[in-house]
Amino acid sequence: MPIVWREEMSVGVKVIDADHRHLVDIINQLEIVIQKTETTRGEREDGLRILFGRLRAYTREHFSREEGMQSTSHYKGLRENQDHHKRLIADLEDLSQRFMEGEKAAQPVGNEDMLKFLRHWLVDHIIKVDLKMRGHPIRAHYW
Ligand SMILES: [Fe+2]
């Protein structure tokens, strides 16, 4: 089931909401590729490689943008958020790598586990933690 953006997910800062929506889109595209059974092995691997690459890159870009905005806005949750971001990046790297290795991985990750991880990773961690920003005056940076 794709993640559907809901207004409750809005942190009230346009740039951050736009980033989160973009992350939702990438994860929804990953879900399609992971669940598609009628593609060839090569097509599936290419799709996964491209989308995981996009997710990893955009996550780093988003986290640094968000931390930069929090820093210039003297947001008191910055330090906690930075620690959290480090863990989220490490988890994503670990899970996506093991998933791509398939059965060859020391601890393989199956389709359902990967999908569950991605939804939880984004919705429960990123969006719920970021919701603490709601109501704080966060200045937007566009870079
Ligand atoms: Fe965020």
- The residues, ordered by sequence, that sit 6+ positions from 73 with a Cβ below 8 Å of its Cβ are 136, 137, 138, 139
C-alpha of residue 40 to centroid of ligand 1, in Å: 34
The pTM score is: 0.91
12 sits in the region (left: phi over 0; alpha: psi -120 to 50; else beta) called: left
C-alpha of residue 56 to centroid of ligand 1, in Å: 13
Note the helical H segments in 73-125.
Answer: 78-101, 111-119
**Per-residue model confidence as pLDDT tens digits over 21-55:** 999 999 999 999 999 988 888 899 999 999 999 99
Task: Report the CATH number of the 11-136 domain.
Answer: 1.20.120.50
Under 8 Å between Cβ of 138 and 75: yes
Domain map of the chain by residue range? 11-136
C-alpha of residue 45 to centroid of ligand 1, in Å: 28
Phi, psi of 6 (to 5 degrees): -125, 155
The environment of the single-atom ion ligand 1, i.e. residues with CB closer than 5 A, is 66, 126, 130
Give the span between the Cα atoms of 121 and 110, in whole angstroms: 16
**Per-residue model confidence as pLDDT tens digits over 80-113:** 999 999 999 999 999 999 999 999 999 999 999 9
